[in-house]
Structure 1
Amino acid sequence: MGWFKAPDDGASGDARGSLVRVLSADRGRTAGAGVYLSGRKLLTCAHVINAALGTRMLSPRDPGAVTLDVSFPALTADSRQARLVAWVPPRAAHHPGPVADGSLEWGGDLAVLELDEAPPPPVRPVRWLDMRAGQLVRAWYGGGQPFSYADVQVGLCDGRIGYLDGPLSGAAVDEGYSGGPLWSPADGAAVGLVMGRITAPGGPLDAQHTLRRSWGLTWQSVRQELARVGADPHPGTGPGGPADDNSVRDMMMGPLHALLGDPTVRTAHCTALGAALGLRTQADGTAPSVEELAQLLCTAERALPTLAESLAATLTDSRSRAQLDRLLTLGRLTEASGLLSVAEHRTLVAKLHHLTGADPGLLPRAATAALPYVDLPRPLAAARLAPDDVAGAVRALEGWPGDCSPVPDETPRLPALLRVVEYVAAETGGIGCQALQDWSAQVAARLGVHASALGERRADAARWSDRSTGTGARVLVELSRHPKDPAEHYRCSVWRMRADGTAARTGVEAERPRTGREIARLVREVAGGSEAAGQGVAMVAVSVAPDALHLPVDEWDGAGPDEYVQAPLGEDFHLVLRCPQIRRRSRTGAGDLKRRWSARHRGEPLVADDRIRDENELVALLKTTHRDTARVLLVGPPAGRRQLVHFCLAMGVPIVLWDRAAGERGEAAPGDPRHGPDPHGPVDELPEKVRHFRVRAYMDPQVPARPALVWEDAGLPLPDELRLADPAAGTAHPSEGTDQAI
C-alpha cells in the first residue's frame, strides 16, 4: 500500500468514468469493454474487436483500419466512432503460432483505438501501477452498469498474467468484461486488463473443479506488448517525441530530491497535493518516497502543475527555480501532467463557462485572433461554443505549444492557452477582464514566464479588442443645416482615418449646401482613395443633429452619371449614425459610453418593445438590470420611438437599431427576416448584417423595412475633436495634411 490512496467513496475513487463500451458492428450488443488511455486513445483486447466484427474470437488476422462505435457508458449513452490504430494479435502462450480452440491462456491480444474527436470532458486517464499478488481488484461489464462490478483478488501473478479469484457471492468476471480495467481501490490505480475466464471442464462439477477463476494481463505486460508495435500507452508531447513513463519518472527524481529532499517539507506539500487530487494520504507524520511521488506526477492528471503551484510560492533563489523549470519540462513528456493545476483549471473553466453563456462567440473569436496561424481544435472551430463545451476547449488548448516570440533570458514561452485567455480578458473588459488577467499573471509566474512576455501579448490583445468593426477604410462625415439652406440640402465635412489612427480632412468647401447625391459621391471618392481601400468593407460614420437621426442617408445614391448600377451608401459601406449632441446633455454620458462600449461583447441586446410603455421604464432598465448593455433594439410603438432613441443615446448606449419606416405599417417581431436584420449574435457582425439586409431591401419591394443603426465607437474621434486638433484643416493645402476630393 502506498502513501497516496484512493478516496473511500467509490464514485470518485474508481475507473468506471474511464470505462469504454465497445459495440458490435450492428450496434445491437456490447462486444466487450475497454479503457481510456490518453488524448484520443482507447485500449481494449484484440478479441473484443473480433467479437465486434463477428469474426473468430481469437483470430490473429489484423482487420485493418476498421471503425467501430464506442461510448463512455458511465457518463453518456451517446456513441462516437473510433478507428483501430494498433493491433497485437492473440498468440499461443507457450509457442509461436495461433491460439488453439479451447485454450485457457494466450498472449498478446491487445488493440488500440483512436477516437474521431476528443472524449467528453469528464473522462480522464486512469493512474496505472504494476500488478502484484494479493491485490484486491474490481472489474466492470462493458455496459458500465453500476451493479455489474465484480470484485476479485489477484492470486498468482508471474508478471505476465494474474489469476483472479472471486468470492462465491456477487458478480463474477464473465463475457463482456474483457478489455476493461482491473482497478485496485487500495492503490487508486488500474493494474491490468481483463482477458479471459477459466471454465470448468464438461460434465458434472465436483469439489476439485475451479470455480470463479479468471485472468488478466498485467500492466507490466501491457506496456511491453504495446511497445513492441510502437504504441506507447502514454505518448509524450515534447519535442523529443514519446518518452517512456519510467524514464520520465527516473529523470524527475533528481529535481524532486533538490526541491523536496527534506521529509518534513515533502510531507507538507504532498498532503496538500493529495487533498487537491482527492486522494487520501498518511496522517502518521511519514513522507512518501521520492519515487512514489514521481510515479504519481507521471500518472495522475494535473498532479505536477498542482505540486508546482505550491512549490512556486516558496522558492527564494534562482537555483530552486531552475529545478522547478526542469521538472515542468519533464512533465510535458507525459500526457497526464497538463498545463494547469487543479485549482487553476477549476477557476478558469468556471469563469469561461459564465462568459460563454452570455456570449457564445467569445472564446472562438478570441482564439481565432490569438492563434491566427494554426488550425484550432474542433471545439473552437465553430462560431459559437456552448458552455458545456468549455472544459473540452480548455483541455485541447492546454496541450498546444507556447508562443514563438523571443523571450528574455531563455525563460519559458507563453503557453497558447494563456494567450487566448488574455484575448478573452481584453474582449470582456471591466472587473471580468481584471479577474482573468490576475489569473493569467499567477499562472505565468508559476510557470516562470517572464513578465515582459505576458505584457507583450496583453498589449496585442488590447489592440485587437480596440479594433474597428470594419477592416477597410474609415470615413467620418458631419452633416449640418443652416436655416436658409434649400430643402434636402446639407453642409458636410469629411475626414478619412489613416492607418496610424490620425485623421485627414478633405479639402472641399464645407460651407456649400449639397444634395444627398453629391454627398454620397464625395464619400465614395474619399473612401476609394484611402490607405485601406480594397481591404474590406469601409465604415462610414455620419454625425448628425438629433432631429436628423431619421434621415435616409444610407439610401443616398453615389453612382456617377455614366454608371449602370446604382450605388446607395448603405449597400457599399457600413453606414452608421452618430449623435454626440445628445450624449453631451448627460453629465455621465462619456463614462456611460465608455463602460458600455467595453462590455459590448457580453450579453444579448435589450429589446424595447411595446412592453416598455415610456422612456421612464427604459431608463429604469438601463440603470439597473441592463446597466452595461451596449445594444438596444427599438420595436416599440412608432409614436415614441424617436424619443426612445434619444434617451438611449443620453444613457450612453453605443449601439441602437431601429426601423425608421416602421411608423407607416404594423410592428414586426425582432429578427423577422422581412422586417430587419437579426440583432443577436456577435456584436461586430451587426454592421455587416445591416448592410446585407439593405442590399436586399432596396431591390425587393416586399421588404418594407429601412434599418437605421447608431454605432458610437468610443475609440473613433468626433468631428469637433478633429476640428479642435487642427483649426486650419478646412483651408490647409493638401500637402499639409488634407485630401482633395471632387
Structure 2
Amino acid sequence: MTWFAAPRGDRSADARGALVRILSANRSRTAGAGVYLSDRRLLTCAHVVNTVLGRRSLSPQDPGGITLDVSFPVLSATDVRSARLVAWIPPRSQQYGPVDDGALKWEGDLAVLELDEEPPPPVGSVRWLEMARGQEVRAWYGAGQPFSYADVRVAVYDDGIGYLDGQLSGAAVDDGYSGGPLWSMGDGAAVGLVMGRITAPDNGFSPQHTVRRSWGLGWQSVLVELRRAEAVPEPHLAGLWAGPSAVFAEDESVRDMMVGPLHTLLGDPVARTAHAAELAETLGLLAPTDGTAPSVEKLAHLLCGTERALPTLAESLAPKVVDDPRGRAELDRLLALGRLTGAARLLSIAEHRMLLGKLEHLTQGDPGLLHRAATAALPYLELPRSLQAPRLTQAEVPDVLGELETWYGDGSPVPDETPRLPALLRVVEYLAAATDGLVGQVLREWSNRVAARLGIHPSALRERRADAERWSRQAAPAGARILVELDHYAKDPPHHYRCSVWRLRPDGSAARTVDGPDRPRTGPEIARLIREVAGGAKDTGDGVALVAVSVPPEALDLPVDEWDGAGAGEYMPAPLGEDFHLVLRCPRLRRRSPTGAADLERRWNARQQSGSLLADHRMGDRTLAGLLKTTHRDTARVLVDGTAQHRGRLVLVCLAMGVPIVLWNRAGLAPGEGPPLDAIVPEGPVDGLPERVRYVRVRVYADADNAAAARPALVWDDAELPLPDELQLADPSEGTEHAI
C-alpha cells in the first residue's frame, strides 16, 4: 500500500459519480462530457455546446438560454434530463479575439448548465484540487463506459494549461471526452477539465509527430474563469474548493523548499510515521500499516497539493516545539512557505470545522453580526466581496470564511520576528466580544489555540482582544441619553424648528440644557446644540449616546440624522446619525388612542420574543390595524415599505397602536426603488438595532453621491425613557453647570 492514496470503493475515489453525458441534438450520440458541480449546476466546455448546436466548434457567439439533453452514466441510460445554459464563457485566443480553426491552444471555452431539479444519488459532487506537473490523471468518455477510461500524466503544467501524455496501450483522449473531469488518482480529487487533443497533421504521419498528447484546463484556471465571469455564485463552490484564485508558478520550488524544514521537524522516521498516519486519517487518505515512513518529499508533495494538509500537520507538530526555539522557527518557515501555495489555507480541518459551525450559528441568530464585527476589526481594509452585504445567510458563511482566511496579517505592530495576527483571528476576537455567554468563551479559546499553533506572540493577541472589548463597550447603548423635542409654528421660517433639549442623568433625573429665548433654529444649529450637550455628559459611560427626538406627526420624515453639527473650524462634517443612536418618537399620535400607553408597554416588554412584521404597498391601513390587533398583538417591530404617501399612512397606524419600533427607508420613493429594507439590517438582536442603523448611516454619509443609498429612519419609543412632558426636572440650580 502506498501513502496518502484515496480509499478504494469510496465514491470520492472516482469521478464517475459526477460525470455528465452531453447528448447530441437528436440524442443519438455523445457530443461530449461534463461534470456535476453542486446545487443543480453542471460544467462543460463551450465547444461541446457548439457541437450539439451544429455550429463551428470554437464559435464565440453566445447561444442564449438554450436547453440541452444530458444524462448521468451512473444512472439509467434512458434517464435523460434537460439542462438550461446559464453562463457562457466563449473560446478566445490569447489576444482575446476569435480562435482560428486548427488552433492548438485557446482560453475560456466553458459553459455552465442548470438542471430543473437535483439529481438523485449516487450522483454527487467531487473534491477539487489544483493541477500540478506529475499528476497521474484519468478521463472518461462522456457515456461513461467502464472500458472508456484514458490514463494520462500531466507532463507539463504551464500558464494554466496541463499537457497530458498517454501511453500507447489503453484508450486515448479523443472526441467525446471534452468537458469531462480529469481525476487525479493519487490525490483522490479532480484537478481540471479535458479541453482538446493535439494530433498529427492531415497530410501524413511522421515518427516526429506527437502521439497521444492532449491538454486540459487546470482547476485553478477554471475557477479564475468562473469567478471573473461571475458564472457560478460562490455558495455553489463552497465545499468543492475554497482556495484563492491566483495561480502560483512557484509550486515546484515551494515543494522543494519545504523539504528542509520537514527534515528538521520530522527527520526521525518513527515520528514522521506517527504524524503522517494521523494526517492521513484526518484527510481520509490511506496509510500503510507495516510501519514504513513516507519520504519527506512525498509529504511535501501532499502539503502543497492537498487542501488544509499543512495547517493540519502543524496542529499536531506545534505542541512538540513549544520549548524548542529551532523547531518553532522551522515550523514558522514551513507555514510561511504554505502561504505561497493555493492549497495550504490558514486553518486546519478541525479548526475550520469548529469555527464554521459557530459562525453559521451566530449568523442564524443575527445576520448582520459578522459584517459589523469585520467592519470594526478591519477598519482600514476593503472588506472581501462576500462580506460587503450587511446581512448574510448561513449558506454564505463558508465563502466569507474562505476569503477571510486569505488575509494573513492585520497590519498592526507585533513583537520582533513573530508572525502577525491574521485578520481572521482579529474578526473572531470582535465576534467574541460582541457575543455573551458560552459561545463567546468558546471563540476566545479557539483563538488562543490557533494563535499558539501559528506562533503568534501572546501580547499581540491580548492587544487585539482589548481593542475588541473596547469596541463592544462602545457599541452597547450605554452612553448618554439626550431627549430632544422639535416643533414648528406657522409663523416660523421654513426648515426652522423650536428646540428643547434635556440630558438624563444616571439616576433618571433630567437637566434641561437650553437657556435663552425660545427661537426657531436651523437643522445645523440644532445639531451643534445636541453635540455640545452630548459632549458635556461626562457621567453617563463611554458608549454611543442615544439621542431621542420627539417630532410632530408631519415631521416623521425629517432627516434629523443628516443634520451636520460640525463647527465652523472643524475639518470633517459631523452628521448626527454618524456619532449617535439618532431615533425618533412621536408621542402625540399615541395619545390619540385611549390604550396607547398600555399598548406601548406590552409591546416593548415583548420585543425580545416577538418577530418583525413587514407592511408594504400590498397592505392597507385597515389591514395593518387588524393584524396589530390580532395575530400581531404583541409585535414590537414593524418594517414599512411603499410609496412615500402610502408609507406615511402605515407609519401613523403603527405609532397610534403603540408599536415602539418602526423602521423605513426615506430613500424609497416607490416599491422596488432604492435599496431593500434588508440593506438596513432590521434582523438580529432587537436592542442592537440602533447601532446597526448607525453603521448603515456611516456608510451612506461616506458615499454621499450615491442617490440609491439607504436613508433609514427609525422610531425607537423606549417605554422606560421619559417623554418631555413626563420629565421630573431637577432643581435648576443643580443643572446650571450643564446649561448651554
Q: Which bin holds the TM-score, normalised by the shorter protein? A: 0.5 to 0.7
Q: Secondary structure at the match of 1:384?
A: coil
Shift of 1:7: 1.7
Shift of 1:656: 12
Shift of 1:430: 1.4
Distance 1:122 1:739, change over 3 A: farther
Q: In the alignment, does 2:560 pair up with 1:572? A: yes
| Partner Cα separation in structure 2 for residue 505 and residue 425 of structure 1 | 35
Shift of 1:358: 1.6
Select 1:152's aligned residue among 149, 152, 167: 149
Q: Mean alpha-carbon deviation: is it higher for 254-263 or for 417-426? A: 417-426
Distance 1:478 1:47, change over 3 A: closer
Q: In the alignment, does 2:11 pair up with 1:11? A: yes
2:291 is matched with which residue?
285
Q: Secondary structure at the match of 1:366?
A: helix
Q: In the alignment, does 2:683 pair up with 1:681? A: yes
| Partner Cα separation in structure 2 for residue 374 and residue 434 of structure 1 | 27
2:344 is matched with which residue?
337
Contact 2:511 2:735 in 1 (8 A): no
| Partner Cα separation in structure 2 for residue 350 and residue 307 of structure 1 | 22
Unpaired runs of at least 5, structure 1:
90-96, 101-106, 200-213, 227-233, 480-491, 542-552, 558-565, 575-633, 693-705, 714-718, 724-728
Q: String of CA shifts for 1:218-276, please: whole Å, max 9, x gaps.
A: 78x989x99xxxxxxx999799x934211110000000000000000001111111111
Matches within 5 A, 1:366-405: 366-405=373-412
AA aligned opposite 2:6: A
Contact 2:600 2:719 in 1 (8 A): no
Shift of 1:57: 4.1
1:489 is matched with which residue?
none
Q: In the alignment, does 2:329 pair up with 1:322? A: yes
Contact 1:153 1:165 in 2 (8 A): no
Distance 1:647 1:265, change over 3 A: same
Q: In the alignment, does 2:642 pair up with 1:642? A: no
Distance 1:429 1:465, change over 3 A: same
Distance 1:427 1:68, change over 3 A: farther
AA aligned opposite 1:322: A
Q: In the alignment, does 2:128 pair up with 1:125? A: yes
| Partner Cα separation in structure 2 for residue 299 and residue 341 of structure 1 | 14
Distance 1:19 1:136, change over 3 A: closer
Distance 1:377 1:33, change over 3 A: farther
| Partner Cα separation in structure 1 for residue 472 and residue 17 of structure 2 | 40
Q: In the alignment, does 2:277 pair up with 1:271? A: yes
Q: In the alignment, does 2:451 pair up with 1:444? A: yes
Contact 1:475 1:527 in 2 (8 A): no
| Partner Cα separation in structure 1 for residue 66 and residue 385 of structure 2 | 20
| Partner Cα separation in structure 2 for residue 306 and residue 10 of structure 1 | 23
Contact 2:484 2:502 in 1 (8 A): yes
Distance 1:532 1:733, change over 3 A: closer
| Partner Cα separation in structure 2 for residue 197 and residue 64 of structure 1 | 23
Q: String of CA shifts for 1:102-125, please: whole Å, max 9, x gaps.
A: xxxxx9445357999xxxx98753
Q: Secondary structure at the match of 2:166?
A: strand
Distance 1:124 1:86, change over 3 A: farther
Distance 1:36 1:438, change over 3 A: farther
Q: In the alignment, does 2:268 pair up with 1:262? A: yes
1:709 is matched with which residue?
717
| Partner Cα separation in structure 2 for residue 174 and residue 441 of structure 1 | 54
Q: Secondary structure at the match of 1:354?
A: helix
| Partner Cα separation in structure 1 for residue 627 and residue 154 of structure 2 | 79
Matches within 5 A, 1:423-438: 423-438=430-445
Matches within 5 A, 1:579-598: none
Matches within 5 A, 1:506-517: none
Contact 1:154 1:164 in 2 (8 A): no
1:740 is matched with which residue?
739
1:161 is matched with which residue?
165
Distance 1:647 1:280, change over 3 A: same
AA aligned opposite 1:10: D
Unpaired runs of at least 5, structure 2:
73-81, 113-123, 157-163, 200-210, 223-240, 486-499, 537-543, 563-589, 614-620, 641-649, 655-661, 665-681, 697-713, 722-726
| Partner Cα separation in structure 2 for residue 405 and residue 65 of structure 1 | 48
Select 2:251's aligned residue among 234, 242, 245: 245
Q: Secondary structure at the match of 2:326?
A: helix
AA aligned opposite 2:738: D
| Partner Cα separation in structure 2 for residue 139 and residue 125 of structure 1 | 17
Distance 1:192 1:506, change over 3 A: closer
1:300 is matched with which residue?
306
Q: String of CA shifts for 1:478-528, please: whole Å, max 9, x gaps.
A: 99xxxxxxxxxxxx994389xxx9x99968699xxx99x99x999978415
Contact 1:371 1:416 in 2 (8 A): yes
| Partner Cα separation in structure 2 for residue 365 and residue 70 of structure 1 | 42
Identity between Structure 1 and Structure 2 (%): 43
Distance 1:419 1:689, change over 3 A: closer
CA RMSD of aligned residues (A): 6.3
Matches within 5 A, 1:126-145: 126=129, 128=131, 137-139=138-140, 141=142
| Partner Cα separation in structure 2 for residue 504 and residue 740 of structure 1 | 15
Shift of 1:185: 3.5
| Partner Cα separation in structure 1 for residue 533 and residue 154 of structure 2 | 79
Contact 1:263 1:287 in 2 (8 A): yes
Select 1:415's aligned residue among 418, 422, 439: 422
Shift of 1:395: 1.0
Contact 2:3 2:287 in 1 (8 A): yes
Q: Mean alpha-carbon deviation: is it higher for 179-188 or for 268-277? A: 179-188
